[in-house]
Structure 1
Amino acid sequence: MCRWLAYTGHPLQLETVLFNAKHSLIDQSLHSRLGHTTTNGDGFGIGWYGHPTDIPFRYRCIQPAWSDRNLREAARAIRAPMFVAHIRAATDTPSQETNCHPFRHGRWLFAHNGLVRNYPAVRRDLMVAIDADLFPSIEGSTDSEVLFFLALSFGLELAPVTALERMVAFVEATGRKHGVDEPLNMTVCATDGEQIVAVRYSSEGRSRSLFHSTSFRHLLELYPEDPRIKAAGEDAFLVLSEPLADLPGWWQEIPESTAVVARGGEVEHYPFKPQLA
Structure 2
Amino acid sequence: MCRFLAWAGAPRYFDELVLNQEQSLVEQSRNAMIGKTPINADGFGLAWYSERESPCFYKDTNPAWSDANLRQLAHHTRSRLFLAHVRASTGTATSRNNCHPFGHKRWSFMHNGQAGGHERIRQELDGMIPPECYEHRLGATESEAIFLIALGEGLDTDPIGAMARAVGRVEALSRRRGVSPFMRFAACWSDGQRLFAARYASDEFAPSLFHRRCAHGIIVSSEPLDDEQKKWVEVPTGEAIEINDGQISHHRFVPPLEEAVAA
If the TM-score is normalised by the length of the shorter chain, which range does it land in?
A: over 0.9
1:102-141 map, 5 Å: 102-141=101-140
In 1, distance between residues paired with 2:90 and 2:178? Answer: 20
The match for 2:166 is 167
Q: Deviations over 1:117-161 (max 9, x none)?
A: 100111111211111011011101111111111111111111011
- 1:246 and 2:227 matched: yes
1:27-66 map, 5 Å: 27-51=27-51, 54-66=53-65
Unpaired stretches in structure 1, ≥5 consecutive residues: 217-228
The match for 1:195 is 194
Q: Deviations over 1:10-62 (max 9, x none)?
A: 000000001111110011111100022111111000010013x5210010000
CA contact (8 A) 1:3 1:35 kept: no
In 2, distance between residues paired with 1:35 and 1:246? Answer: 17
TM-score, reference length from structure 1: 0.90
CA contact (8 A) 1:49 1:57 kept: yes
CA contact (8 A) 2:200 2:254 kept: no
The match for 1:152 is 151
- 1:209 and 2:190 matched: no
Unpaired stretches in structure 2, ≥5 consecutive residues: none
Secondary structure (helix, strand or coil) at the match of 2:188 reads strand
TM superposition shift of 1:182? 3.6
TM superposition shift of 1:91? 1.3
Secondary structure (helix, strand or coil) at the match of 2:27 reads helix
TM-score, reference length from structure 2: 0.95
TM superposition shift of 1:205? 2.8
In 1, distance between residues paired with 2:156 and 2:193? Answer: 12
Q: Deviations over 1:171-211 (max 9, x none)?
A: 12211221535411010111011011101001113201110
CA contact (8 A) 2:9 2:80 kept: yes
The match for 1:88 is 87
Runs of 4+ with >2 A deviation: 179-182
- 1:176 and 2:172 matched: no
2:245 to 248, 264, 277: 264
In 2, distance between residues paired with 1:254 and 1:248? Answer: 14
Q: Deviations over 1:71-104 (max 9, x none)?
A: 0000011010000000001111010000000001
CA contact (8 A) 2:241 2:248 kept: yes
**Residue type of the partner of 1:149?**
L
Secondary structure (helix, strand or coil) at the match of 1:198 reads strand
In 2, distance between residues paired with 1:267 and 1:199? Answer: 13
In 1, distance between residues paired with 2:135 and 2:41? Answer: 29
CA distance change for structure 1 residues 181 and 44 in 2, over 3 Å: closer, same or farther? closer
**Residue type of the partner of 1:238?**
I
The match for 2:254 is 273
